[in-house]
Amino acid sequence: MEESEQEWKEFLASRADLQRRQKEVQVRKSAGKDVSESLRNLEALEKRLKEREEELDKKARLTPWNVDTIAKAGFSRTTINQKERGQEKVSYFIYTTEPVCNM
């Protein structure tokens, strides 16, 4: 779990660095400098980062969840149902001579 979080942090840092570099290239381009080589390098880096993001997403989807850390105890203690002493179960039956259902 910690390993995947570290991988995501590294990925996000590299993506932020890419965005910073792209802004720098745009500034140099607006100043009239030749930036074609820099743009090709940044496009290649962007492509690798997209592939890395897809790889991390796939890894996160396929990793099984640790249910021991997710689940919460429903009850703090276990109790066994027992008949309380002194109480008896009383059943009432009604006997009739008439039919129950009229057909």
Query: In this predicted model, what pLDDT tens digit does every residue of 45-66 receive, in sequence order?
Result: 999 999 999 999 999 888 887 7
The answer to whether residue 48 is domain-embedded is: yes
The answer to whether residue 52 is domain-embedded is: yes
**Measured distance CA(3)–CA(67) in Å, rounded:** 18
The domain of 50 spans 2-66
Query: Please, which pLDDT band fits residue 94 given cuts at 50, 70 and 90?
Result: low
DSSP 100: S
Give the pLDDT confidence score for residue 50 in this predicted structure: 96
Residue 25 · residue 38 · CB < 8 Å: yes
Per the model's pLDDT, the better-predicted residue between 97 and 21 turns out to be: 21
Residue 22 · residue 42 · CB < 8 Å: yes
Question: Model pTM?
Answer: 0.58
The answer to whether residue 85 is domain-embedded is: no
Q: Six-digit token pair at 75? A: 């009850």
The answer to whether residue 102 is domain-embedded is: no
Over range 15-29, report the average pLDDT. Answer: 92
The answer to whether residue 62 is domain-embedded is: yes
Kindly report the average pLDDT of the chain as a whole number. 80
Query: Please, which pLDDT band fits residue 97 given cuts at 50, 70 and 90?
Result: low
The answer to whether residue 71 is domain-embedded is: no
Give the pLDDT confidence score for residue 10 in this predicted structure: 94
- Give the chain's domain count: 1
Per the model's pLDDT, the better-predicted residue between 1 and 13 turns out to be: 13
Q: Six-digit token pair at 55? A: 């790889």
